[in-house]
């Protein structure tokens, strides 16, 4: 079989929704196999249909529980759902426990739901490097909605903004200086705020602090003021279900607003920019670094730097002059 034929076959299977083929391609992307790049070349023209929703928030905020509940409510609306759930890789062993899935296992047998766990493998932005392309894969499978759960985040892990159309920031009361954390970074990326475990003390205070912060924003892009949705205790199915319906509706509203105001194009362009940067880095920088490492030049440069014979900027200029004619 020719490579071309195998590639077309792979594309056909993924477009038909074949889970094994899709999951294996995602794995090839994680492992950065060369053939994964050609696969993305083939599927790329077919992407752009799905609504991509990012879910972020501090560790244990209830993101996975929320994703599980959202799957259920979108399935009720007869939407197919893809989930990419990211958990951290241990920097010491390179291994990872991917535990988000535990909360979503009741959907395991539903052919309209595809849950795939990813490890960060050293990526710092709260996601895995493969997540952008994995979203493309699920998109081409025909998933209407793709939910991307980040690792539990602090203030800096805002990479999710580059990969989603709608970002949900999950907050919980009683974690101390919540607002402090949101001010620095996470605040700017939210399209929807969820106050989770709203049955707990402090949820009203958190809500009013959020409100007063939003009141200070002079103007919202596309006139969308991020709504605050209170989600009750997940162990009380009635009220929990109701607030979930509200959240699902707000997610739909946001998507419609993006389409109406052409902000969707903006969001897609943002992702494209990131993809170009990554692709250029892989195509131009990575081979140079590889060669410099393998030839021992890197070691030699490190030595010169340590002896203060030169500085990083001079080195960079030299390498650029030599390699990028």
Ligand X SMILES: Nc1nc2c(ncn2[C@@H]2O[C@H](COP(=O)(O)OP(=O)(O)OP(=O)(O)O)[C@@H](O)[C@H]2O)c(=O)[nH]1
- Convert 182-204 to b/e letters by CB count within 10 Å (16 or more is b): beeebbebbbbbbbbbbbeebbe
Considering CB distances under 5 to 8 angstroms, the limit depending on partner class, which of ligand X, another protein, Mg ion, none binds residue 108? another protein
**Of the two residues 32 and 242, which places its CB atom closer to ligand X in the complex?**
242
Cα angle 222-224-227, degrees, rounded to a multiple of 5: 170
Write out the binding residues for another protein, residues 60-89 only, by CB under 8 A: 89
**CA gap 87, 29 in Å, rounded:** 17
**CA gap 257, 254 in Å, rounded:** 5
With contact defined as beta carbons under 8 Å apart, do 112 and 75 qualify?
A: yes
Cβ-based neighbour number of residue 145 at 10 Å: 24
Write out the binding residues for another protein, residues 110-169 only, by CB under 8 A: 114-117, 119, 121
Least CB distance from residue 19 to ligand X, whole Å?
23
- Convert 49-75 to b/e letters by CB count within 10 Å (16 or more is b): ebbbbbbbbbeebbbbbbbbbbbbbbb
Least CB distance from residue 99 to another protein, whole Å?
5
**Of the two residues 59 and 265, which places its CB atom closer to ligand X in the complex?**
59
* CB neighbour list of residue 261: distance below 8 Å, 6 or more residues apart: 222, 223, 224
**Binding residues vs ligand X (CB under 6 A):** 59-65, 100, 103, 152, 196-197, 233-234
Considering CB distances under 5 to 8 angstroms, the limit depending on partner class, which of Mg ion, ligand X, another protein, none binds residue 234? ligand X
End-to-end CA distance of the chain: 40
Q: DSSP state, 182?
A: I
Least CB distance from residue 52 to another protein, whole Å?
19
DSSP string across 13-48: HHHTT-HHHHHHHHHHHHTT-HHHHHHHHHHGGG--
Least CB distance from residue 184 to ligand X, whole Å?
19
Phi, psi of 171 (to 5 degrees): -120, 150
**Of the two residues 40 and 104, which places its CB atom closer to ligand X in the complex?**
104
Size of the site for another protein (CB under 8 A): 31
Considering CB distances under 5 to 8 angstroms, the limit depending on partner class, which of another protein, Mg ion, ligand X, none binds residue 254? none
Quick note: the x/- pattern for Mg ion over 52-71, rule CB under 5 A, is -----------xx-------
**Of the two residues 37 and 270, which places its CB atom closer to another protein in the complex?**
37
Applying CB under 8 A, which of residues 8, 105, 295, 310 lies at the interface with another protein? 105
**Of the two residues 10 and 65, which places its CB atom closer to ligand X in the complex?**
65
Phi, psi of 38 (to 5 degrees): -65, -35
Least CB distance from residue 3 to another protein, whole Å?
17
| Binding flag, residue 230, another protein (CB under 8 A) | no
**CA gap 33, 26 in Å, rounded:** 10
Least CB distance from residue 152 to Mg ion, whole Å?
7
Give the residue among 273, 268, 247 at the shortest CA–CA distance from 69: 247
Q: Give the range of 45-53, 100-108, 228-236, 275-283 binding Mg ion by CB under 5 A.
A: 100-108
**Of the two residues 27 and 46, which places its CB atom closer to another protein in the complex?**
27
The residues of the shown chain that bind another protein, judged by CB under 8 A, are 19-20, 23-24, 26-27, 30-34, 89-90, 93-99, 101-102, 105, 108-109, 114-117, 119, 121
The residues of the shown chain that bind Mg ion, judged by CB under 5 A, are 63-64, 100
């Amino acid at each position: 079989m020719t490579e071309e034929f195998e590639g077309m076959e792979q594309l056909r299977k993924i477009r038909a929704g074949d889970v094994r083929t899709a999951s294996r391609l995602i794995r090839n992307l994680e492992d950065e196999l060369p053939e994964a790049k050609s696969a993305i070349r083939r599927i790329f023209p077919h992407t752009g249909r799905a609504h991509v929703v990012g879910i972020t928030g501090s560790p244990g905020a209830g993101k996975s529980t929320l994703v599980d509940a959202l799957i259920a409510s979108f399935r009720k609306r007869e939407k197919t759902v893809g989930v990419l759930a990211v958990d951290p890789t241990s920097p010491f062993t390179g291994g990872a426990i991917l535990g988000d899935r535990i909360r979503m296992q009741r959907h395991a047998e539903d052919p309209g739901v595809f849950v795939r766990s990813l490890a960060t493998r050293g990526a710092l932005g709260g996601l895995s490097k493969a997540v952008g392309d994995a979203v493309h894969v699920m998109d081409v499978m025909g998933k209407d909605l793709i939910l991307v759960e980040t690792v539990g985040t602090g203030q800096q892990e805002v990479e999710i903004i580059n990969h989603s159309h709608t970002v949900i920031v999950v907050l919980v009361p009683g974690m101390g200086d919540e607002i402090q954390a949101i001010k620095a970074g996470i605040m700017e990326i939210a399209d929807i705020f969820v106050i989770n475990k709203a049955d707990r003390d402090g949820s009203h205070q958190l809500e009013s602090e959020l409100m007063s912060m939003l009141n200070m924003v002079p103007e919202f892009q596309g006139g969308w003021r991020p709504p605050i949705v209170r989600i009750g205790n997940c162990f009380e199915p009635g009220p929990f279900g109701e607030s979930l319906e509200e959240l699902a509706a707000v997610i739909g509203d946001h998507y419609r607003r993006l389409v109406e105001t052409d902000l969707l194009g903006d969001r897609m362009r943002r992702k494209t920019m990131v993809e170009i940067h990554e692709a250029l880095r892989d195509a131009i920088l990575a081979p140079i670094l590889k060669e410099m490492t393998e030839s021992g030049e890197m070691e030699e440069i490190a030595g010169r730097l340590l002896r203060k014979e030169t500085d990083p900027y001079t080195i960079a200029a030299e390498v650029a002059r030599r390699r990028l004619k």
